[in-house]
Chains A and B, each alone.
Chain A
Amino acid sequence: MSAQDLVFEPLDSGEALVSTAISRVTAQDDTTIVLLAGPIKSGKTTVIVSLYELFNQGPVGGLFFGGSETLVAFERISHTGRMASGRSIPETVRTNPSSPTAFLHLRVVGTGEGLPKASNLLLSDVTGEAFEEARNVSEPTIIPRRLWRRADAICVLLDGEKLSSVTTRHLVRTGARSLLRAAREANLISSRCRLMLVTTKWDLVSSNETVEFVGETESWLLDQFRSDFESAASHRIAARPNSSRVPYAYGVPDLLVDWIAKPQLKVPIVAPSPTSSGMSSFAQVFWHQQRELVAGVLNVV
């Protein structure tokens, strides 16, 4: 046995990345950070688990699984949804409120038009506690402000089961509004952040009346908060449906595609401001007539 035989190099643990460790991913690749926020049991972790399980079965939304730095963490949280756990009913382990915010990493590769495009995702669910702290304290510590502002997307989860019940639906609605309002007032949202309203447990939304209510809620929230974000969209998912009429992880592939969507940067051009020269006058005429047309194709600065 040589001396080399006794040497071991540590591997990365494969566990979830705490917020001070995410630079392991963000310093290497362009990374999209997604925060999932919502009340307890609204389904935040289940969304993540269902996405992972989908990849275990095949490509998702036309995207291939390209690797993960946090495979061990994914396995841990998926365990209680599998037969090996000894359960007969799938469950999701609740995020421990006292553990630091942790991110799961997923690299996905699309081979659409053009060359293969890799996207790196860091996903984290925001505990109610972290959110409350951010609302109330000027320098939050569970999720520091700089981390909030680094988020590329904030998903606000609306519990479909609670929306289906007349007694709880209004709470869901006002809860989401209060969350977004607090985020705005605490200056947690950066101008490049996108908003996604995600109604979960869609399999439990069965009446037309509830569907209408959900639609109204989505519009109501989007109208109020769209301008605080770069863009806003809504999704309806059933990550782990209780009924067999809805497929497993319904709506999750579309959500994934939305997370990684990145509009191509347009070539910038400056529309000049007026001066006294003839050329400049001509330019003013051009931009007056053609600005809208050109803005569809170039980034008019």
Chain B
Amino acid sequence: MHALFSDWYQVIDPLAPRETIEKRWAATEECLEGLDMGKVAELATYVALVQPQTLSWFRAVYKKHDDVMKTRGVDEEIRLLAAVVLRVAIEREDDLAVLSALCLLTGVFGRSDQPKWLEEHLNEAARTLAAMGRSVREFAETGEISSTADGDEHNRFLEATVAMIKTLRESNDFLWWAFTGHSLTLGESYSGLSGPTLAVTAPADLIGFSRMLPLSAEAETLLLHVVMERAELDAKYSFKAYASSLTRAQAQKLARPVPAKCQLLCPILWVLQVSSEGKAWQTEFERLFKIKTSTPIPMPAFTLQFLRELCLLRSTHAEQGVI
């Protein structure tokens, strides 16, 4: 059993008997085994939005392991367990880990009533992405290969070298981007863009230069630097204001299609899509995402969220997974 599972579960039932905790863990392990991209997106959506009629497959697994578990009146319990599954998946640091972390982070954005217990999972998601971002970009520097090395070893050496070059090119491109302050996506200079427009544009440009996922923590830092250099740190705009700072043409250039199961995890991409079509969106947005379009959001949070949404999108395509 995960060392922290018992502590996590006791938020729901502080006096849960050992037996119950063990049954919940057994069900959690089963869910982890059968996890795929679609399920990750569904779990993250539930953690963010708690839609009562969903996740029947998930509930069924827990019920199977404990037939006295209630089927009604356990929405918060299911939510906690869904977050735990994602958390454990994140700790595995495999491909699903990246998606799990991104889905968890993007899904809760902008919501005002997130439970406190979620905080540690969000922090762990951010930390893991940073750690994995670092490990795919760090290499032992060896300039030599032994004379008795076989074909496989040669190939490995070559792969590592190519990967090092990719990393270097990526950081080079990032730094040039930061230096020139020009948007390839929009074809405009940053100096001509308003703060909120920049907050939406910069992540799209940045990710265009990235060579591998997840992004490094340095890349997120760079994004903050680029946006903060040109706009007020404590400026807060509403979703409405960020959206209306873009012309329809700009929205079209920034919009990207999102797989259905990830829709509710990507509010900014959703807004861009409908804005690019010139449609009114506020009522539907509030209904779907339960975020008020007038709630002020600090720029660093907004720009970081968009970057993560784009990474999420990228990680679904990279896997060629069907969501």
Contacts known (A114-B292, A272-B221, A279-B222); A28 close to B75, Cβ less than 8 A: yes
Across the interface, name the chain B residue whose C-beta is closest to A144.
Answer: B15
CB <8 Å contact, A301 and B123: yes
Q: Count residues of B near A (Cβ-Cβ below 8 Å).
A: 56
Beyond known contacts A271-B221, A279-B219, A294-B224: 14 more, CB 8 A cutoff: A19-B14, A23-B12, A23-B77, A27-B74, A31-B76, A113-B292, A113-B295, A115-B112, A265-B114, A269-B220, A269-B224, A271-B217, A272-B218, A293-B233
8 Å CB contact of B118 from A265, A286, A297: A265
| B122-A265 in contact (CB<8A) | yes
Give the A-B contact count at a CB cut-off of 8 A: 154
The answer to whether A26 and B12 touch across the interface, beta carbons within 8 angstroms, is: yes
Residues in chain B within 8 A of chain A (CB atoms): 10-16, 70, 73-77, 105, 108-109, 112-116, 118-119, 122-123, 125-127, 129-130, 134, 138, 171, 174-175, 216-222, 224-225, 228, 233-234, 286, 290, 292, 295, 298, 300-301, 304-305
> Closest A-chain residue to B228, C-beta based?
A290
Query: In whole Å, how far is A271's beta carbon from the nearest beta carbon of chain B?
Result: 7
Interface status of A22 (Cβ within 8 A of chain B): yes
Q: A23-B16, A147-B15, A294-B300 are in contact. Are A275 and B126 (CB under 8 A)?
A: no
Q: Does B174 contact A114, Cβ atoms closer than 8 Å?
A: no
CB distance from A295 to the nearest CB of B (A): 11
- Taking A26-B13, A29-B76 as contacts, is the C-beta distance between A265 and B130 under 8 angstroms? no
Check A71 for interface membership: any CB of B closer than 8 A.
no
Q: Which of A24, A26, A275 contacts B11 (CB 8 A)?
A: A26
- Pairwise interchain contact A287-B221, C-beta atoms closer than 8 A: yes
CA distance A113 to B236 in the complex (A): 15
Instruction: Verify B15–A20 contact, CB threshold 8 A.
Output: yes
Do A270 and B127 touch across chains, with their CB atoms under 8 A apart?
yes
Cβ of A139 under 8 Å from chain B? no
Q: How far is the CA of A146 from the CA of B217 in the complex (A)?
A: 37
- Evaluate contact between A146 and B122: CB separation under 8 angstroms: no
Contact of A115 with B304 in the complex, beta carbons under 8 Å? no
Tier of interface size on chain A: 35 or more
In the assembled complex, the CB of B88 is this many whole angstroms from the nearest CB of chain A, namely 18
Set of chain A residues within 8 Å of B225, measured between Cβ atoms: 282, 286, 290
Residues of A within 8 Å of B114, CB to CB, are 264-265
Q: State the Cβ distance, B68 to closest chain A Cβ, in Å.
A: 12
Please judge, given known A-B contacts A113-B295, A115-B290, A269-B304, whether A27 and B127 are in contact too, CB under 8 Å.
no
Q: B295: shortest Cβ distance to chain A, in Å?
A: 6
**Is the beta-carbon distance between A28 and B73 smaller than 8 angstroms?**
yes
**Nearest CB of B to A66, in Å:** 13
Docked Cα-Cα span, A290 to B233, in Å, equals 10
A192 at the interface (CB under 8 A from B): yes
Shortest beta-carbon distance from A21 to chain B in Å: 9
A59 at the interface (CB under 8 A from B): no
